A and B are shown apart, each in its own frame.
Chain A
Amino acid sequence: MSADPYNSSVRGLFADPTHAGSVSGGKTVLVDDQGVRVELSASAESGRISAMRFRAWGCPHLLAAAEWACAAYEGGPVAALEIVPIDRIMEDLAVPAEKTGRILVLEDAIQSLGRDLKSLREGCL
């Protein structure tokens, strides 16, 4: 029997992405690279991410990783977006090494969103 290319986490996140969509009135970034597209949007309040959503075009690992990231960052500090736990995402979702580039696209999107939210906050101050 061929090994299942997706672990249960990927299957669950892909099947039921509760953070799919966009946040109106927040900041939105789009990164289009490596043959995939990741759009992240979020709103922040008092330095914390109040809502974070994604839209993505790519393989199940990428979609699952985007959902994983939204769930992980939502409710946390905006500053956390500067650090993306790539190794943990790769491990939790058993992402094949040849797909690392796609996860790095997600990393770019997360960090870009963090910069935008930070500037928004600074602009407000």
Chain B
Amino acid sequence: MPDPMIYLDFAASTPVDERVLDRMREVAVMNCANPSSTHAAGREAQSMIAHAAEQLASLLNVAPKTLVWTSGATESDNLAIAGGARYRAHRGKHIVTMRTEHKAVTDVFEMLANEGFEVSWVEPDASGVLDPDEFAAALRDDTQFVSIMFVNNETGVIQDIEALGTICRARDILFHVDGAQAVGKLPIDLGALPVDLLSLTGHKFYGPKGIGALYIADRPGCHVEPILFGGGQQRRIRPGTLPTDLVAGLGMAAEVASASIETDLKHLRERRLELWDGIRDIGGVTLNGDPNGFPGILNVSVEDIDGESLLLALEPVCVATGSACNSKSQEPSYVLRAIGRSDMQAQSAIRFSVGRSTTAEEVRFAADRYRAAVARLRKLAPDAAA
């Protein structure tokens, strides 16, 4: 691919912040011990992990003891959903989620359905937003577990987590939120939000890959059964030797985010608007999702264009069709199909996602490239639109 690449795929992964890298290098060089070891070096490693927990807890406004380290959001989602639903199974086996959730959520619900749980899939409106009243109508006396994502990874749609969580809390339903696209990017006060379980991952907010966490609220009836076995670490909820350098990196990413969220959001809004302004007048272009969604993501479809060809024609702009996790599939995005887009609209969808380092010049380049690619592919096509 010709250089320079224009990276507009921050929803898939973000570059590691220099301060995070410095901290990880410092920890990796300073301490090689197993943090479970009781000798001095092990205790030092444990104190580094405890410091990281304080940094992440501060970002979320929770107690450090409510955080369980994992390998990332997929594991956190698996642990929360499988572990939470099984923990509550003796009370009821009805569980609820949305059609537009990430595969790390929907696949676990399907697995639980095979275990005898009954799943209700609630539908969002055409912009991808879930109506709290419709959500409430899907709940039953035996509903024990709900999972709803904070920010949709494909469209950037933000759900009303406070309203949905309040409904769950009133019924004592365990409420899990996939916060992979939200943590470190939106202000989240878990001290105030009625959320029981929240998944997050480091590499979505300028931390390292391979490390994430699950928040488990400190309240009665809120617990998860382990899905991994082999040690007593992390209160037997998630065994395994913790990677001290990665944990420290995630902690630093949280500290950096705490200080920069508002600035980042302003920056993302400006870049997203510039991008949208640069392409919105192209014939047949439609915005997928809520205009008031997360400003880091802009998902657009365009008529009469093959999405795969568009993706290649956009190079060296790095963007995604659907989510990165499904990008090898030739199926149109199930998320966009769930919000009523046609197969043709869904297959042409491109997700641009901007980040902290995205410049106005990069966005202009991407918009110009998009315009040119659409024009070229239409010219190449039989019966092309004007």
Judge whether A39 is part of the interface by a CB distance below 8 angstroms: yes
Is A57's CB under 8 angstroms from B382's CB? yes
Q: Complex Cα distance A63/B380, Å?
A: 9
Q: Does B304 contact A (CB under 8 A)?
A: yes
The contact of B382 among A6, A11, A55, by CB within 8 Å, is A55
B342 close to A (CB within 8 Å): no
CA distance A39 to B330 in the complex (A): 23
Neighbouring A residues of B30 by C-beta, 8 Å: none
A56 contacts which of B304, B312, B381 (Cβ < 8 Å)? B381
Q: Across the two chains, which residue of chain B brings its CB closest to A54?
A: B380
Q: Which residues of B contact A48 (CB under 8 A)?
A: none
Q: State whether the Cβ of B123 lies closer than 8 Å to any Cβ in chain A.
A: no
Which B residues contact A (CB, under 8 angstroms)?
304, 306, 308-309, 312-313, 330, 379-384
Task: Tell whether, in the assembled complex, residue A57 and residue B306 are in contact, meaning their CB atoms are under 8 Å apart.
Answer: yes
Within 8 A of B (CB), among A85-113: 98
Q: Which residue of B lies closest to A17 (CB)?
A: B380
Given A30-B382, A37-B381, A39-B382, A6 and B312 contact (CB-CB distance below 8 Å): yes
In the complex, 26 of the A-B residue pairs with CB atoms within 8 angstroms, ordered by the A residue number, are A6-B312, A11-B312, A14-B309, A14-B312, A14-B313, A20-B380, A30-B382, A36-B306, A37-B381, A55-B380, A55-B381, A55-B382, A55-B384, A56-B382, A57-B304, A57-B380, A57-B381, A57-B382, A58-B306, A59-B306, A59-B308, A59-B309, A60-B312, A63-B309, A63-B380, A98-B330
Minimum CB–CB distance from A105 to chain B (whole Å) comes to 12
* Contact between B309 and A60, CB atoms less than 8 A apart: yes
Asked if A56 and B380 sit within 8 Å, CB to CB, the answer is yes
CA distance A57 to B381 in the complex (A): 5
B-binding residues in A (CB < 8 A): 6, 11, 14, 17, 20, 30, 36-39, 55-60, 63, 98
CB of A58 within 8 A of CB of B309, answer yes
Known: A17-B380, A57-B380, A58-B309. 12 other contacts (CB 8 A): A6-B312, A14-B312, A20-B379, A20-B380, A37-B381, A38-B382, A39-B382, A55-B384, A57-B382, A57-B384, A60-B308, A98-B330
User: Which of chain B's residues have a CB closer than 8 A to the CB of A37?
Assistant: 381-383
Q: How far is the CA of A30 from the CA of B304 in the complex (A)?
A: 16
Tell me, in angstroms, the Cα distance from A39 to B384 when the chains sit together: 11
Contacts of B379 in A (CB 8 A): 20
A2 to B312 Cα, complex, angstroms: 15
Question: A78–B383 Cα gap in the complex (Å)?
Answer: 26
The answer for the CA separation of A115 and B308 in the assembled complex, in Å, is: 32
User: Which residue of chain B lies nearest to A36 when distances are taken between CB atoms in the complex?
Assistant: B306
Return chain A residues, CB-CB under 8 Å to B313: 14
A17 contact set on B, CB distance < 8 A: 380
Closest 8 CB pairs of A and B: A39-B382, A57-B381, A55-B382, A59-B308, A60-B312, A37-B382, A60-B309, A20-B380
